[in-house]
Amino acid sequence: MTQIRFALAQIDTCVGDLDANADKIMRYVHLAAKGRAQVVVFPEMTLTGYPIEDLALRRTFRQAAWDKANWLATELAADGLGDLYVAVGTVGTDHASDKPKNRMVVLHDGVVWAGYDKHFLPNYGVFDEFRIFTAGERSVVLDIDGVRVGVAICEDIWQDGGPVAELAGRGIDVLMTMNGSPYEEGKTHVRYDLAVRRADEVHAPVIYVNQVGGQDDLVFDGGSFVVDADGTLLARAPMFMEHLGFFDFDADAERQGAGEIAPELDPDEEVYTACVLGLKDYMAKNRFKGVCLGLSGGIDSALVAAMAADACGGEHVQGISMPSMYSSDGSKDDAADLAANLGAKYDVQPIEPLFVSYQKQLDLEGVAAENLQARIRGVIVMAYSNAKGLLALATGNKSELACGYSTIYGDAVGGYAPIKDLLKTRVWELSRWRNKAAAAGVGIGGLGIVGNERSGAGTPLPGGVMIPVNSIEKAPSAELRPGQKDSDSLPEYALLDQVLAAYIEHAHGRADLLADGFDAKTVDTVMRLVDRAEWKRRQYPLGPKVTALAFGRDRRLPITNAFRE
């Protein structure tokens, strides 16, 4: 009877940090060996981090990665682990063309086996691999103790035909895939359905190992899993955390035995945790110890501050209240209450004296005077960032970013924007969810955060509320003039977000939007605002992608664009 234990090593790596990535691979192989695994599978491009973008074009980087793979093989053998089969993703070189390849290598008996090169190179959305890599041209079957293991890399299983179709005709016993599939809301079920189709195609179980962690504007959610030949879910790793899981394959069994199956997350928790992990990893991998941001008392800055506290601990969050002559007492109180709830540092920097000084020289009116207030606040936030070595957070949401409802070099300043891919209505939903989680003492998925404790402080909150209820319920306003409300300049968010979702994420034009049932005035207003704001979006900080289409690499429209519908 032939049995093989596979270890699914779902780990978080950093692009370019070959030494740290190799050390983590070593640690997980040792753990897998203690768990009696014979095969250890890591995510796509584990050794180099992913995506490496134009680093792949640098010959010296490719050579360093290859040297590190050889070092790994040698060290594993020296540690008595040479009999394991360790599948690692890295960058290779096509010797005929001297161009890079997205490669899986197998470390065994102290050497790097000739690997498998990714066949299908994604060239859509956030992916641009066709420009960087040379595609592989053959399928590969590994014979591991008499078990025929077909291998594939990420996009290879998303496309009909190609290596999976070839493997279906080669009588494989297991399909083993390594993946770097970024998170987006609702994608987990899409992956599972895809794996079920491929399992049926090859008549064998499918092992799907996915990367976890944040890399610039991408968040990888992990969620590695195994499905049987009939589509039965056999194992599933938790989302948003590193994990080592096991799958025992029995070549003589008609059906494979089930292992650990992590529960699914609440949809709001999923999105919230993705944003937190994106910020947490961006800070860690770029060596930021803390953050600073303006606290206005509004819902956007409140949600960003809560995410920051969950990412790095409330004591590492520097909130700055910057009231003007138009700021309400309620907003100032809400900002102070939020900082207290989070255990954050809190300073008050009134901007009126600075505004008066500017006005003595500039004498601005209307929108220019309103924007001046926002830009003074931006200067203060960046001053804190420079002086204290903190990561400045921009607090704008996707609705504002879409419509250009922000001040460039004002509230748009910062190094990272945690909610830039959340529509305003989603901001409210996640804020309510975070308060419910705090009240219930529910942990935040994968991050080990207890819901009813201050991040880093451990003191229970009164009633479990993190975000002041007034910040959630009051009418949104930038408070740049007396009585100002967002609805003075924009359609109500409940309507606006529906139009934005159709126009941006589904690429509906004017005729489509009218057919969707939206009125012509609203459609024309929203399209005009979105089309005119492209230049602002290009200058906005990066932030985590959590929807199917985020501003940035997903959506590339010209700034100079005279087309109007």
Confidence of residue 464 (pLDDT cuts 50, 70, 90): low
Work out the average pLDDT over 531-552: 92
Predicted pLDDT of residue 457: 35
214 - beta bridge partners? 219
Q: Would you state the structure tokens that stand for residue 260, as one six-digit string?
A: 């650990």
Predicted pLDDT of residue 459: 39
Ligand-binding site membership of 399 (annotated): no
Predicted pLDDT of residue 456: 37
Omega of the bond prior to 51 within 30 degrees of 0, cis?
Answer: yes
Predicted pLDDT of residue 560: 81
Q: Report the residue count for the chain.
A: 565
Catalytic choice (68, 75, 101, 154): 154
5-44 burial, b if ≥16 CB within 10 A, otherwise e?
ebbbbbbbbbbeebeebbebbbebbbebbeeebbbbbbbb
Ligand-binding site membership of 124 (annotated): yes
Within 8 A by CB and 6+ apart from 173, the residues are 147, 148, 149, 204, 249, 251
Catalytic choice (14, 44, 270, 420): 44
Catalytic choice (118, 285, 398, 424): 118
d(C-alpha 382, C-alpha 414), whole Å: 7
SS3 278: helix
Ligand-binding site membership of 296 (annotated): yes
Predicted pLDDT of residue 135: 86
- Whether 515 and 506 have beta carbons less than 8 Å apart is answered as no
Residue 118 is a catalytic residue = yes
Ligand-binding site membership of 536 (annotated): yes
pLDDT digits (tens, 9 = 90+) for 145-166: 899 999 999 999 998 888 899 9
pLDDT of 473 strictly over 90: no
Confidence of residue 458 (pLDDT cuts 50, 70, 90): very low
151 - beta bridge partners? 176
Ligand-binding site membership of 406 (annotated): no
Q: Would you state the structure tokens that stand for residue 428, as one six-digit string?
A: 């409210």
d(C-alpha 251, C-alpha 242), whole Å: 29
pLDDT of 564 strictly over 90: no
pLDDT digits (tens, 9 = 90+) for 87-113: 999 999 988 888 999 999 999 999 998
pLDDT digits (tens, 9 = 90+) for 342-401: 999 999 999 999 999 999 999 999 889 989 999 999 999 999 999 999 999 999 999 999
What's the alpha-carbon Rg for the chain, to the nearest Å?
Answer: 26
Q: Would you state the structure tokens that stand for residue 217, as one six-digit string?
A: 């504007």
- Whether 467 and 434 have beta carbons less than 8 Å apart is answered as yes
pLDDT of 442 strictly over 70: no
Predicted pLDDT of residue 421: 96
Mean pLDDT of the chain: 90
Ligand-binding site membership of 295 (annotated): yes
Residue 44 is a catalytic residue = yes
% of the chain exceeding 70 in pLDDT: 94
Give the DSSP per-residue string, 295-340.
--SSHHHHHHHHHHHHHH-GGGEEEEE---TT--HHHHHHHHHHHH
Ligand-binding site membership of 458 (annotated): no
- The full set of domains in the chain, from first to last, is 4-252 (3.60.110.10), 269-484 (3.40.50.620)
- Whether 404 and 559 have beta carbons less than 8 Å apart is answered as no
* Full-model pTM: 0.92
Q: Residue 168 corresponds to which amino acid?
A: A
Range scoring the smallest mean pLDDT among 179-188, 250-259, 346-355, 483-492: 483-492
Q: How far is CA 434 from CA 81, 96, 343, 405, 443, in A?
A: 45, 54, 16, 26, 10
pLDDT digits (tens, 9 = 90+) for 26-52: 999 999 999 999 999 999 999 999 999
Angle among Cα 355, 532, 278 to the nearest 5 degrees reads 75
Ligand-binding site membership of 187 (annotated): yes
Residue 521 is a catalytic residue = no
**Which tops the pLDDT comparison, 457 or 499?**
499
